[in-house]
Amino acid sequence: MAVTADTIQTALDRRRPGQSDLTTPRSEADKVEILSGLFEGKTTGTPISLLIRNQDQASHDYAHVEHAYRPSHADYTYDMKYGRRDYRGGGRSSARETAARVAAGAVAAQLLAHYGIVAQSYVSQVGAVAVPVGYEQLNLNLIESNAVRCPDPETAERMMSLIRQTRDRQDTVGGLVTGVVRGVPAGLGEPVFDKLHAELGKAMLSINAVKGFEYGSGFEGTLLFGSEHNDAFYTDEAGAVRTRTNHSGGIQGGFRMGRIFIFGWPSSP
């Protein structure tokens, strides 16, 4: 399959720190180097090896925590597990490792696109400021139109204002990211331990600072009775089986059942 370095770089540029006043001031170019697995723009069937170099190292900035544990970081647990810790930014527990996820994810996205599967995500809430409507009523083409990557312009302005106010108080604020995946074939996933939503949950919860994962109606489903929450089936004009609602997020029994599913996970900037 065709894989372009430009597509990988575009994804890394979206993640890159220092791109706006809403993100960390670290300055990383995050230029990807493809070492193996591609020839003349196409995969060779061998492992794809990508390299992203760290350039903005400032180990001395962490000298003051050499003898102290940072709250809500992995310093203490690393020390207890291994008997020592790398206090110069956290080592493997640093959110810097997500650069590798983004690069690999950009390759995966190109593979999924080959099969007509498209995944999009956007910031749907920052602190108490939330997008007032569901993804169906949003123009997801507007995700990249602002620094906070919220497709609702008015809400995006309020989010950015809250982030700046919080930063000025030398504090941080959490948020919620919503993902929408289209074109997924029915039957994807396996029962019991390899359910699709279980795999998604594991992937999302392994990201630094993520404290929760939900799909479909998520925890809001507790507010509905079963008769209200069930996704009733029907056959459309083309003879395809559909559901009238999507409370299950498009997943039943651990398998994909339709063409669209949604999921979300909280994170902190």
**Nearest Cα residue to 220 out of 191, 192, 249, 244:** 249
Residue 241 and residue 233 in contact, taking contact as beta carbons nearer than 8 Å: yes
pLDDT band at 260 (very low <50, low <70, confident <90, very high): low
Whole-angstrom Cα distance, residue 9 to residue 99? 11
pLDDT in tens, 77-97: 888 999 988 888 777 888 888
Helix (H, G, I), strand (E, B) or coil at 225: coil
Residue 265 clears pLDDT 90, i.e. is over it: no
Residue 166's identity, in one-letter code, is T
Q: pLDDT tens digits for 205-229?
A: 999 889 999 999 999 999 999 999 9
Q: Is 72 exposed, middle or buried (0-12, 13-18, 19+ CB in 10 A)?
A: exposed
Answer yes or no: is pLDDT of 56 > 70: no
Local structure of residue 168 (DSSP, 8 states): H
pLDDT tens column, 119-144: 999 999 999 999 999 999 999 999 99
Query: What pLDDT, in 10s, does the model give residues 153-163?
Result: 999 999 999 99
Q: Kindly tell me if the per-residue pLDDT of 183 is higher than 50.
A: yes
**Distance from first CA to last CA of the chain, Å, rounded?**
35
Tokens read off for 44: 């060779």
Query: Which position has the token pair 């398998």?
Result: 255
Nearest to 24 by CA among 13, 16, 32: 16
Q: How many whole angstroms separate alpha carbon 183 and alpha carbon 190?
A: 18
pLDDT for residue 269 is more than 50: no
> How does the average pLDDT of the chain come out, rounded?
88
What is d(CA 81, CA 73) in angstroms, rounded to the nearest whole number?
A: 14
Residue 199's alpha-carbon distances to 93, 189, 255, in angstroms, are: 21, 9, 11
3-state secondary structure of 247: coil
Burial group, residue 51, by CB count within 10 angstroms (0-12, 13-18, 19+): exposed
pLDDT at 268: 46
Higher pLDDT, 86 or 200: 200
User: Going by C-beta distance under 8 Å and a sequence separation of 6 or more, which residues neighbour residue 119?
Assistant: 109, 112, 179, 180, 181, 182
HSE, side-chain direction, 13 A CA sphere, residue 200: 26
